[in-house]
A and B are shown apart, each in its own frame.
Chain A
Amino acid sequence: MTTTVAAAAVGTATRAGVEVRLENLQRRYAGVTALDGLSLTMAPGELVALLGPSGCGKTTALRLVAGLEQADSGRVVVGGEDVTGQPTNKRDVGMVFQAYSLFPHLTAWQNVAFGLQMRKVDARQRRQRAGEMLELVGLSGFADRFAHQLSGGQQQRVALARALAIQPKVLLLDEPLSALDAKVRARLRDEIRRVQLEVGITTLFVSHDQEEALAIADRVGVMHSGRIEQLGPPTTIYSRPATPFVAEFVGLTNRLPGVVRGGEVDVRGSRLPLVQPDTADGPAIALVRPEAVSVASGGETAAAPLVGTVIATAFLGATSRVTIDLGDITVLAQLPTSEATALPAGTRVRIAIRADPVLISRDEAAPERA
């Protein structure tokens, strides 16, 4: 299916995206705080991904927007209308679930038409719009199949078509790719983004998979303990993490012991500027990305003061991740594969750390990694 066909197909079903605001949402379960004053404003047509470890409150936030749960306090405003007290079936939201949620007794097109039937759309229009939606997700040839006759990826695409068919004000995606295998997941992720851009619907996407969230979203909100730690474009989240938690949760991070002195941190002779220069002096853990670590050619002691031994190399495609043992700690370096292949296990190397501003951590407890 070409994009042109899809755009034409969706023409009758498109509705301009609306602004969605979550205002100071609080939710507690039996003494456990799931959401602790969460606030988020989504621009019309924007795709925001909530990313975080299990139990951080991201799914709770999405369920509050859907009306599947009620907030203890706070408001959900969709398109200027306060929907906080409205039941789910009156909220005008489309939702794709983590678990396969197609109605097993209905065919794909009947599933897509279900929401339209609930809205009392006449039979002719139902048939037409369900057909358009299935065409939009590339499954027009599968209209007569039941859920058990579809693969996992196809089921989620039908679920997406079903959610979009009712022309909701907001689309909610609750880890829709997590039950799929890696290849299908990557393909469907791109498919979801394409469809979302074509339809122009405001979308909240929840995931614990950072690659998925960073790849699909206009903005990513990294959640921790019921709050958004940092909200921003994927590149900012990755390259300029605001907190040690974000730095450690998003991407890989080396935790290198050092000492803070005068707005810099000294890591075994390498002086690295701090993101927050007014940090008090004293021992700290510098959080350094693997791509900031380089392996120097022999003899450049001043530029590459750290000496270690390569103990493993993980091939990632164009780049490889090399694990280097410095004696008391190990360091990860992300290198071009051509460079990494020249460093078999056991090779003695000198490494340098690029003098990018770094975050430090004084809390030894690492965050839970999903």
Chain B
Amino acid sequence: MTRARRLRLRVFRVIVLVLGGAFFLVPIGAMFEFSTRGNRVGAPRTLEAWTTIVTYPDLLGAIRDSLGLATITSVGMLVLLLPTMIWVRLRLPRLKRTIEFLCLLPLTIPAIVLVVGLSPVYRWMAINLVDTIFLLSFAYLILVLPFAYRALDAGLSAIDVKTLSEAARSLGAGWGTVMFRVIAPNMASALLNACLLSVALVLGEFTFANLLSYLNLQVEIFQLGLANAGTSIAVSVASLMFAFILLVILSFFGRPRKRVAPERTGLPYPIAAAGPR
């Protein structure tokens, strides 16, 4: 590659980075700017909208409920999808297309149609079982299936599931050990990806909660926006920042390990620096 071409490539990368960064950061910056404006024209900047977040009990409750929903949905998704996908890959590969189709199906159904279909079920559950916002996690579980499936499928494709599981089985491991101590740790990035997507989707979900008359974070932000736009925007920026922090954590988890501390062996002899290859 010539020097001029390398330079052109570098410039191109920088331009793409700047444009991409601007695309994401300018709206967030604008939101932050709006949330720190004073109450009247010419008033100094203030963090009042941010500090008042904690003074809205409904808002705090909505944040708590949304985080709870995100947790329940993520855990439910992992419990449902991970063993199923591993089992299908190992023992029932002919069902892979069927499972994939079922998991991707929610993408093709508009949320309003799903809500109309689910509302009698929710009404029945609210009357006969228990009326709690956490029932929404059943619907959210369906919503996150396509995204979580794709993330987990990519993770499973990146490792030799069959050989690893057969090796573990030959060493005496049961199926539970194979799944949770051999396969799952080797697709940690995919698991985190799936969880992140689930959390992001649940924290940003509005239609289901609103139409089923539950008060989650997005519904509360919407209602708050009618009364106090500054606080509403501050909460939106905070939830975006929360998703961003999750992404950063994910990127650290996804990195391959470079170095290992020697004391981890616990072997009764010193570790040589090198040896025959």
Q: Chain B nearest CB: distance from A229 CB in Å? A: 28
Residues of B within 8 A of A104 (CB): 159, 186
Q: A57 at the A/B interface (Cβ < 8 Å)?
A: no
Interface residues on B, range: 35 or more
Do A140 and B267 have beta carbons less than 8 Å apart?
yes
Given contacts A88-B169, A138-B275, whether A103 and B186 have CB atoms under 8 Å apart is yes
Do B177 and A118 have beta carbons less than 8 Å apart?
yes
B residues 148-202 touching A (CB-CB < 8 Å): 159-160, 163-164, 166-174, 177, 182, 185-186, 188
Identity of the chain A residue whose Cβ is nearest the Cβ of B261 in the assembled complex:
A144
Interface string of B234-268 (1 = CB under 8 A from A): 00000000000000000000001100111011111
Which one of A95, A140, A144, A148 contacts B167 once the chains associate, using CB atoms below 8 Å?
A: A95
Do B267 and A119 have beta carbons less than 8 Å apart?
no
Given contacts A118-B177, A153-B277, whether A97 and B266 have CB atoms under 8 Å apart is no
The segment from A11-19, A73-81, A107-115 found at the interface with B is A107-115
In angstroms, Cα B170 to Cα A93, docked, is 6
In angstroms, Cα B202 to Cα A207, docked, is 53
Identity of the chain B residue whose Cβ is nearest the Cβ of A130 in the assembled complex:
B267
In angstroms, Cα B273 to Cα A307, docked, is 62
Q: B42 at the A/B interface (Cβ < 8 Å)?
A: no
Residues of A within 8 A of B185 (CB): 105
Residues of A within 8 A of B168 (CB): 103, 114
Do A131 and B268 have beta carbons less than 8 Å apart?
yes
A residues 133-178 touching B (CB-CB < 8 Å): 134, 138-146, 148, 151, 153-154, 159, 162-163, 166, 172
In angstroms, Cα B255 to Cα A148, docked, is 13
Q: A341 at the A/B interface (Cβ < 8 Å)?
A: no
In angstroms, Cα B166 to Cα A172, docked, is 13
Identity of the chain A residue whose Cβ is nearest the Cβ of B173 in the assembled complex:
A118
Q: A347 at the A/B interface (Cβ < 8 Å)?
A: no
Do A138 and B267 have beta carbons less than 8 Å apart?
no
Do A163 and B265 have beta carbons less than 8 Å apart?
no
In angstroms, Cα B180 to Cα A105, docked, is 12
Residues of A within 8 A of B261 (CB): 144
Identity of the chain A residue whose Cβ is nearest the Cβ of B169 in the assembled complex:
A88
Q: A234 at the A/B interface (Cβ < 8 Å)?
A: no
Identity of the chain A residue whose Cβ is nearest the Cβ of B166 in the assembled complex:
A68
In angstroms, Cα B272 to Cα A142, docked, is 7
Identity of the chain B residue whose Cβ is nearest the Cβ of A93 in the assembled complex:
B170
List residues of A whose CB falls within 8 A of some B CB: 66, 68, 87-91, 93-95, 97, 99-105, 107, 109, 114-115, 118-119, 127-128, 130-131, 134, 138-146, 148, 151, 153-154, 159, 162-163, 166, 172
24 of the cross-chain contacts (CB-CB < 8 Å) are A68-B166, A89-B172, A93-B170, A95-B166, A95-B170, A97-B163, A99-B160, A99-B163, A103-B164, A103-B167, A104-B159, A114-B171, A114-B173, A115-B172, A118-B171, A138-B275, A140-B272, A141-B273, A141-B274, A144-B271, A146-B260, A151-B277, A154-B277, A162-B167
List residues of B whose CB falls within 8 A of some A CB: 159-160, 163-164, 166-174, 177, 182, 185-186, 188, 256-257, 260-262, 264-269, 271-277
